[in-house]
Amino acid sequence: MHDRSRLRNDPDFYIKAIARKRMAAPIELLLQLDAEWRAVRTALEADQAEMNRASRSIGALLGQGKKDEAETAKQKTAELKARIAVQEERARELESELRSLELSIPNVPHPSVPDGAGEQDNVQVRTFGEPPVFDFEPKPHWEIAEHLGIIDFAAGSKISGSGFIIYKGLGARLQRALIYFMLHEHTEKHGYTEIYPPYLVNRGSMTTTGQLPKFEEDLYVMERDDLFLIPTAEVPVTNLHRDDILDASQLPIRYAAFSGCFRREAGAAGKDTRGLLRVHQFDKVELVKIVAPETSYDEMESLTQDAESVLESLGLHFRTMEMCTAELSFSNTKQYDLEVWAPGVGKYLEVSSASNFEDFQARRGEIRYRPGPGEKPKYAHTLNASGVACPRLMAAILETYQRQDNSVFVPPPLQPFMGTDSISA
């Protein structure tokens, strides 16, 4: 959501900036309704002021026992009352239309974001390590995992449907090790506070972070209760401070949260159907920051590095890509994706997406802070990054550390949790 008065004063800025994202927004319509709304408000408030005066004087007359005069005064308010009712009704209609229009307008890209029309225009900002070299043909992770008996794809489909995974034995343990390792890195080394959030959230929470109202078809919905399964811990964690006015001394707030994540992946049918590349339920450690505006782009860099450090510690080759304008999401202004190399499938896999939302989510959720004593509250900036998503990370580990004899080396940071340095059949 954007600042209404900035939209009024400089609509062209928003129209052009949103066009850079290859999106469109009904800004003229919004401004037209806004102008009508303000006119109605002004007239309404004048009438309300008059009604307040009239009521007070009726009270005074009754206090003096002047019943007849009070009755006469009451009659006179009828017309005013009717006019107020009509204006209130119109104002309510306009407010609800304005609200839904505002919620449907995307955030604007930061000026530093490279212009582009698609994936091919993303910019590589750095890489870590080198693709591993094999003296045999590296296998995709689903072959490795099935051979080792650590993932049962068929059972997942039987129990729930395609895109649901059963991890078994050392596979399940590897999953647990990754979660433990990542949480440990972020809480002990990077100063994040651990949060364990609910998996079901209400409509208001989904609206704050931007999944609603536009992307309901991507979510699993519990209709009876009007609750939604979270697609990422970003949703409950960002909403921790919904409707709060934080003290400046509390900022920056840094949270690390493990959760399951649930995505319908509507519209992605047929894409990346094999193995762990695209699943309906997955585990992830998510990093969320709530910060003062002047620090948010610095915080975004350190946030991205905190996510990168997970991949570095595991010795995986990856690249950090800056998304071009067309590849940004609805809610963010700037985005880095971390793509880890998976030699078996021969592709870079997106395991993390770091975003700055500036005050876009904060406005939707009324997340504010007071810059100093006696100062007016301001909207905070919110950011998040995966730190990182488990299934594709596991795919990259299995494929990177596979050996010709079908065993898989366990990278050193995971060995204490795994109790072994090798997974073999």
Partner RNA sequence: GGAGAGAUGGCAGAGUGGUCUAAUGCGGCGGUCUUGAAAACCGUUGGCCGACCUGUCGGCCCGGGGGUUCGAAUCCCUCUCUCUCCGCCA
* β partners of residue 254: 289
Name the site residues for RNA (rule: CB under 7 A): 4-5, 38, 41-42, 44-46, 48-49, 51-52, 54-56, 58-59, 62-63, 74, 77-78, 81, 92, 245, 368, 373-374, 376-377
- Would you tell me the crossing angle of helices 141-148 and 170-184 to the nearest 10 degrees? 120
Catalytic site residue 41?
no
Find the catalytic residue in 20, 173, 254, 278.
278
Kindly tell me which of 5 and 120 has the beta carbon lying closer to RNA.
Answer: 5
Residue from 274, 304, 305 nearest 391 by CA: 274
Catalytic site residue 263?
yes
For 207, the token pair is: 């609206």
Find the catalytic residue in 259, 296, 353, 386.
353
Q: Give the separation between CA 99 and CA 16, rounded to whole angstroms.
A: 22
Residue from 160, 242, 246, 173 nearest 206 by CA: 242
Q: Shortest distance, CB of residue 83 to RNA, whole angstroms?
A: 12
Q: Shortest distance, CB of residue 305 to RNA, whole angstroms?
A: 33
Distance of alpha carbon 414 from its chain centroid, rounded?
A: 29
Kindly tell me which of 271 and 376 has the beta carbon lying closer to RNA.
Answer: 376
Find the catalytic residue in 350, 366, 407, 422.
350
Burial profile 62-78: b = 16 or more Cβ within 10 angstroms, e = fewer: eeeeeeeebeebeeeee
Q: Shortest distance, CB of residue 24 to RNA, whole angstroms?
A: 24
Pair 396, 138: CB distance under 8 Å: no
Pair 181, 414: CB distance under 8 Å: yes
Catalytic site residue 363?
no
Q: Shortest distance, CB of residue 353 to RNA, whole angstroms?
A: 31
Kindly tell me which of 37 and 181 has the beta carbon lying closer to RNA.
Answer: 37
Kindly tell me which of 96 and 124 has the beta carbon lying closer to RNA.
Answer: 96
For 408, the token pair is: 């898989």
Q: Give the separation between CA 85 and CA 213, rounded to whole angstroms.
A: 30
Q: Shortest distance, CB of residue 201 to RNA, whole angstroms?
A: 12
Find the catalytic residue in 173, 263, 363, 368.
263
Find the catalytic residue in 205, 308, 392, 399.
392
Kindly tell me which of 191 and 377 has the beta carbon lying closer to RNA.
Answer: 377
Residue from 395, 352, 177, 345 nearest 261 by CA: 352
Q: Shortest distance, CB of residue 224 to RNA, whole angstroms?
A: 10
Kindly tell me which of 96 and 420 has the beta carbon lying closer to RNA.
Answer: 96
Task: Please name the residues in contact with 235: beta carbons below 8 A apart, sequence gap of 6 or more.
Answer: 201, 205, 206, 208, 209, 211
DSSP-based three-state secondary structure for 202: strand
What are the contacts of 90-97 at 24+ separation with CB within 8 A?
Answer: 90/40, 91/37, 91/40, 91/41, 91/44, 94/33, 94/36, 94/37, 94/40, 95/37, 97/33
Q: Shortest distance, CB of residue 109 to RNA, whole angstroms?
A: 24
Kindly tell me which of 4 and 147 has the beta carbon lying closer to RNA.
Answer: 4
Q: What backbone phi and psi angles, to 5 degrees, belong to 401? A: -105, 15
Catalytic center residues: 263, 278, 350, 353, 392
